[in-house]
Chains A and B, each alone.
Chain A
Amino acid sequence: MIRIDHLTMKFGKFTAAADISLSLARGESLALWGSNGAGKTTIIRCVLGLLSFQGTIRVGGRDVARDGKRARSLIGYVPQELAFYDDLRVWEAITLFARLKNVARVDLDATLDHVGIPDQGGKRIRELSGGMKQRLALAIALLGDPPLLVLDEVTASLDVCGRAELVALLGRLSGQGRSLLFASHRADEVTSLAQRVLMLEKGKVTAEVPVSQFVARLGAGSVLHLHMPAPSRPVAIQLLRDHGFAPTLNGVGILVPVPATQKAVPLRLLAEARLSVDDFELLSPRDANLSQENHA
């Protein structure tokens, strides 16, 4: 469905995407995962032909740089936040985009019902909540039943409830034979929707893994920061070492590298040993190192 060969995209001297290659088969789901500035949105915008780039991108066999319009007719795109004429009514927006997508007939009720916003056709876009706007964007993306959905951090502006509902809806849609390319920095979304994950950092691919390995990689990189009273720290460190962990003191607490599936185990061990924990947080290795350096 998508084939990207040696994609490089620069904003002046800043390289937003460096020599990226990937492929996405029909019906497959691929997540672009990374922190802000990793290059996820840049890759998506290149796939849509919105930015000039080096390398080649083909969508459904169509070269995005040369035949962008035809390539985009295979794509349903949902942005981070729907920005469109706010004074348009929902039915007007759907009619407008249906025309632009060459969709002859649209069953408005069915379209809105499909994305979980029935009876909203008469409302103006500005009257919709953030979650409803995202669902409208999804309804627009699904017009013409495109074989590929491209989603750019679609849940970023939603609350927890709205996020869970949208992810569940996307999960149902991706199970209908559509390909899914989406950007996210939320591990729960990636594990819910993706089959493969392209891990990005500063515009470069650091790994391409199946989602099962992604969980392990992600977890292995986490560090549990435990805040506990100073007298009990040596005992806690010994206890954790006895159970295979490698804790270190950092002055205000203990840092414990933890695998993905065992993030709560140190807490349980300490609770069973009646060692009180005042507070805890989960850090990335980089933040944990910074914490150590700051303390030193």
Chain B
Amino acid sequence: MSAAAIPSCQIIEAHAPTLISNILTLAWRELRDALRARSFLLYSLAFLALGLGVSYVSAAGTGSLGLSGFGRTTAGLINIVLLVVPLMALTTGASAIASDRERGMLLFLLAQPVSRLEVVLGKFLGLSGALIACITLGLGACSLVLAWQGGATEPRTMLWLAGLSVLLALSMLSVGMLISALARKASVAVGTGVFLWLALVFVTDLGLMAGTLALRLPVKTLFLLTLSNPLQAFKMWALHSIDASIDVLGPAGLYAMDTYHDALPWMFGASMAAWIVLPLVAAALIFRTRSPV
């Protein structure tokens, strides 16, 4: 069949929805879906239970110690956040695209006047909202327990911790969505997310320790490597905000305090921002070229 025989095609006015309107529509849908999901509810309950446990025990034991006691409680909460929030955000992000692709829903969605960028941003925004709700609920409940136990509470520190936890959640969500854009199956994506969580929480710390001993890494390299792990960046930033010091981290902490001091919050912020933006951009670029089936 020759193309020359084909009559020309008239241009018809099309009124596609705007980028913002589609992103918000998809985000709202994603938020509702996430908040109804059983896995999300379980994560939230686990976070709440662990957080309340730490708050209750800390407040009961250190109520008379005033702000110092609250600092210890916050340090305990940091460890809870470090464990639960990345796992929750990574697995949520990892199933975001892959699960829709596997169930055939992505195909139907992308057959509508929706761009792939809108789908990625809508999902990210909606899931961010769900994670923020979960973190707010968890840390909010912990603050209430601390206040009820009569322990000294400093709302500003708690708010700061909540803000940093949100940044950590967003960075892990972003990484999860990158995994999801790459994976063909939801089970593979979630499995990869869990593996990465294990690596970030446990293996990188041990690896750094082993590397430092075996390779005699300079303290500057050790600090920069630590900073490149978003979980460590969160931990250092949170400790720094409580104590205005990260001496507790040992030689790397002391080196960082001496060398960068006032620039440290900016360095932590830059590391976290990079972990939010770069994987999300990569996810959007990969998703553009991937088949929805």
Provide the bound-state CA to CA distance between A242 and B237, in Å: 96
Is B7 in the interface zone, CB < 8 Å from A?
yes
CB pair A3 B114 closer than 8 Å: no
CB pair B111 A101 closer than 8 Å: no
Q: Find residues 1-54 in chain B having any chain A CB closer than 8 Å to their own CB.
A: 1-3, 6-12, 14-17, 21-22, 25-26, 29, 33, 36
Q: Give the interface centre of A25, A51, A70, A79 by most chain B CB atoms within 10 Å.
A: A70
Q: Find residues 37-59 in chain A having any chain B CB closer than 8 Å to their own CB.
A: 45, 48-52, 58
CB pair B108 A83 closer than 8 Å: yes
CB pair A100 B103 closer than 8 Å: no
Q: Which residue of B is nearest A86, CB measured?
A: B103
CB pair A70 B14 closer than 8 Å: yes
Chain B interface residue number, banded = 35 or more
Question: B16's contact among A49, A73, A87, A208, by CB below 8 Å, is which?
Answer: A73
Is A71 in the interface zone, CB < 8 Å from B?
yes
CB pair B36 A3 closer than 8 Å: no
Is B207 in the interface zone, CB < 8 Å from A?
no
Provide the bound-state CA to CA distance between A62 and B9, in Å: 9
CB pair B1 A96 closer than 8 Å: no
Question: B3's contact among A5, A49, A205, by CB below 8 Å, is which?
Answer: A5
CB pair A5 B6 closer than 8 Å: yes
Is A102 in the interface zone, CB < 8 Å from B?
yes
CB pair A100 B9 closer than 8 Å: no
Is B105 in the interface zone, CB < 8 Å from A?
yes
CB pair A147 B12 closer than 8 Å: yes
Q: Give the interface centre of B1, B103, B112 by most chain A CB atoms within 10 Å.
A: B112
Is A218 in the interface zone, CB < 8 Å from B?
no
> Contacts of A48 on B, CB cut-off 8 Å?
110-111
Is B107 in the interface zone, CB < 8 Å from A?
yes
CB pair A69 B114 closer than 8 Å: yes
**A122 → B minimal CB distance (Å):** 17
Q: Which residue of A is nearest B290, CB measured?
A: A52
Provide the bound-state CA to CA distance between A69 and B99, in Å: 23
**A261 → B minimal CB distance (Å):** 27
Q: Find residues 72-119 in chain B having any chain A CB closer than 8 Å to their own CB.
A: 103-105, 107-115
CB pair A73 B29 closer than 8 Å: no
Question: A50's contact among B17, B22, B110, by CB below 8 Å, is which?
Answer: B110
Question: A82's contact among B15, B26, B108, by CB below 8 Å, is which?
Answer: B108
Is A2 in the interface zone, CB < 8 Å from B?
yes
Is A97 in the interface zone, CB < 8 Å from B?
yes
Is A74 in the interface zone, CB < 8 Å from B?
yes
Is A225 in the interface zone, CB < 8 Å from B?
no
Is A163 in the interface zone, CB < 8 Å from B?
no
Question: B6's contact among A23, A45, A71, A147, by CB below 8 Å, is which?
Answer: A23
**B19 → A minimal CB distance (Å):** 9
Q: Is the interface of B mostly helix, strand, loop or mixed?
A: loop
Question: B2's contact among A3, A21, A147, by CB below 8 Å, is which?
Answer: A21
Question: B17's contact among A71, A82, A102, by CB below 8 Å, is which?
Answer: A102
> Contacts of B1 on A, CB cut-off 8 Å?
21-22, 205, 208
Q: Give the interface centre of A6, A23, A48, A69 by most chain B CB atoms within 10 Å.
A: A69
CB pair B22 A100 closer than 8 Å: yes
Provide the bound-state CA to CA distance between A102 and B293, in Å: 25
> Contacts of B10 on A, CB cut-off 8 Å?
26, 60-61
Is A99 in the interface zone, CB < 8 Å from B?
yes
With contact pairs A22-B6, A100-B22, A205-B1 given, residues A84 and B105 touching in the complex (Cβ less than 8 Å): yes
CB pair B103 A83 closer than 8 Å: yes
Question: B108's contact among A3, A58, A61, A84, by CB below 8 Å, is which?
Answer: A84
> Contacts of A21 on B, CB cut-off 8 Å?
1-3, 6
Q: Find residues 264-293 in chain B having any chain A CB closer than 8 Å to their own CB.
A: 289, 291-293
CB pair B6 A102 closer than 8 Å: no
**A103 → B minimal CB distance (Å):** 9
With contact pairs A83-B104, A99-B21 given, residues A77 and B9 touching in the complex (Cβ less than 8 Å): no
**A10 → B minimal CB distance (Å):** 12
Q: Which residue of A is nearest B22, CB measured?
A: A100
> Contacts of B112 on A, CB cut-off 8 Å?
72, 77, 97, 100-101
CB pair A101 B17 closer than 8 Å: yes
> Contacts of B109 on A, CB cut-off 8 Å?
84
Ordered by A's residue number, 22 sampled pairs between the chains whose C-beta atoms are within 8 Å are A1-B9, A2-B9, A3-B6, A6-B3, A52-B289, A60-B12, A61-B11, A62-B12, A69-B115, A72-B111, A77-B108, A79-B108, A79-B111, A82-B108, A84-B105, A96-B25, A100-B17, A100-B26, A100-B113, A102-B16, A205-B1, A208-B1
B: residues with CB less than 8 A from A are 1-3, 6-12, 14-17, 21-22, 25-26, 29, 33, 36, 103-105, 107-115, 289, 291-293
Taking A61-B10, A84-B105 as known contacts, 14 extra A-B pairs with beta carbons closer than 8 A to each other, sorted by chain A number, are: A21-B6, A22-B1, A23-B7, A50-B107, A60-B14, A61-B9, A69-B114, A79-B104, A85-B105, A97-B112, A99-B25, A100-B17, A100-B25, A102-B113
